[in-house]
Amino acid sequence: MAGRATRLWHSLSTVHPARTVVAAFAGVILLGTALLSLPLSSEQSGATGFVTSVFTATAAVCVTGLTVVDTGTYWSGFGEGVILALIQVGGFGIMTMASLLALLISGKLRLRMQLTAQAETKSLGIGDVRRVLIGVAGITAAVELAVGAVLALRFRFGYGESVGEAVYLGFFHAVAAFNNGGFSLHADSLTRYAEDPWVTLPIAAAVILGGIGFPVLLELLRHRERRRRTGRRGWSLHTRLTLMTTAVLLLTGTVLTCLLEWANPRTLGSFDWDEKLLNGFFHSAMTRSAGFSTLDIGAMEASTLLMTCALMFIGGGSAGTAGGIKVTTFAVLGVAILAEVRGEPSSGILGRRLAPHVLRQALTVALLGVGLVMAAALVLLTLVEARVEAVLFEVVSAFGTVGLSTGITADLPVSGQLVVALLMFVGRLGPVTLVSALALRERTRRYQLPEERPVIG
């Protein structure tokens, strides 16, 4: 039995880098569950139940923000510290964190660790890993410190919090925002700050920066240096596609949220026009994968919930802290559809032709995502009596590691909460990564099958 377990662990940790990433995330979730189960982690008497602990640990590591208990009142200071650490590790990347620590301690990385770090950070090559790790750490620290400082000052002088409490609130929400975690120390999330741009805008900025992905952030920071050294102009296709699609989705979400909720007295209806625009933009930014809310999600119109589901399913940028199928996947599929409608032999955008395998990857990611969402929604609908749109919203929020909720998650039965936790895990890792990790072996076909063209449509 011991030999079989050893062989299984060897298969998970050495055969395929994706398997190491999956095993690492699962291991950290189990560790977080054990820590949150300790009596000192909660304000309640006795140990926390397994389901509550594993759900919270999964939500934190997968930077989702869905909760079954109120974070600020249920968990003790130790428990909140554990949650914050899990958010940071999950958002930063477990293998990225491990590789960075090894780099700091020993000054070098073994090939296997470079491969797993490369698989998680989506770095272009082995030679880029060291540079990417240091860059990711620097960006993370800079954004979290800057946003945390702004929030701490606002909480101190705008709301009269003590210095210690203001600093704690500021940096907790800054870490959760940049990592797209969505955990808040307030029971109403950020509803009490709905009219305060000094709180909502810094948090939205951190969410957007974390959500566009580290490769894009690194390229933006190093573009001027590379241009001066090589004379090359312009960003890569990935960066341009990510920025353009993110901007379009942010604008679309803001406009639709304002239009659909403008007169709803339970959401935007009670605000002035400028506050409506502020909260419409904030809601659109949170659908990138953040999970904070200044509006009552359960009181939104069904049309707004459907629109929000679409944005959450798309998510943010690749190799960042956001979830979903990613904006580049969405853009590639849109380009492929447009090319097919026009009858063009290949798909191209921004002066570049897309490789066929990129289209296959995008289609695989999207269809696996749709299948997982539909399957999970079907299971939950058999377990609970709730509106279809509410269940679908909760499922998409879990898959996209968003954390926005209509309020039904805490009322789900144990089996339903475990389904949502599993969906968060799959959503954080990505369907393709998980499928690749679970594959028994890679196969290379040494022949071509005869070509056939079935009727489509």
Give the closest residue to 373 by CA, choosing from 326, 310, 317, 321: 310
Asked if residue 63 lies in contact with residue 179, where contact means CB atoms within 8 angstroms, the answer is: yes
Written as one letter, the residue type at 271 is F
User: pLDDT digit of tens for each residue in the chain (457 aa)?
Assistant: 445 545 544 544 445 566 777 888 899 999 999 999 999 999 988 889 999 999 999 999 998 989 999 999 999 999 999 999 999 988 877 556 555 555 554 555 555 555 555 555 555 454 566 677 777 888 889 999 999 999 999 999 999 999 999 999 999 999 999 999 889 999 999 999 999 999 999 999 999 998 888 778 888 887 665 555 545 557 888 889 999 999 999 999 999 999 999 999 999 999 999 999 999 999 999 998 888 999 999 999 999 999 999 999 999 888 777 888 999 999 999 999 998 888 887 888 888 888 888 888 888 889 999 999 999 999 999 998 888 999 999 999 999 999 999 989 988 999 999 999 999 998 888 776 665 655 545 566 677 778 777 877 7
Domain borders along the chain are 9-438
Confidence at residue 13, expressed as pLDDT on a 0 to 100 scale: 45
Roughly how many angstroms between the first and final C-alpha of the chain, as a whole number?
52
In angstroms, the Cα distances linking 425 to 324, 345, 450 are 12, 38, 39
Tokens (6 digits) for 167: 């600093």
Confidence at residue 236, expressed as pLDDT on a 0 to 100 scale: 83
Confidence at residue 445, expressed as pLDDT on a 0 to 100 scale: 67
Burial 96-115 (b: 16+ CB within 10 A, else e): bbbbbebbeeeeebeeebbb
In three-state secondary structure terms, 322 is coil
Tokens (6 digits) for 306: 């459907």
- DSSP H/E element including 267: none
Asked if residue 181 lies in contact with residue 68, where contact means CB atoms within 8 angstroms, the answer is: no
Give the closest residue to 25 by CA, choosing from 52, 60, 49: 60
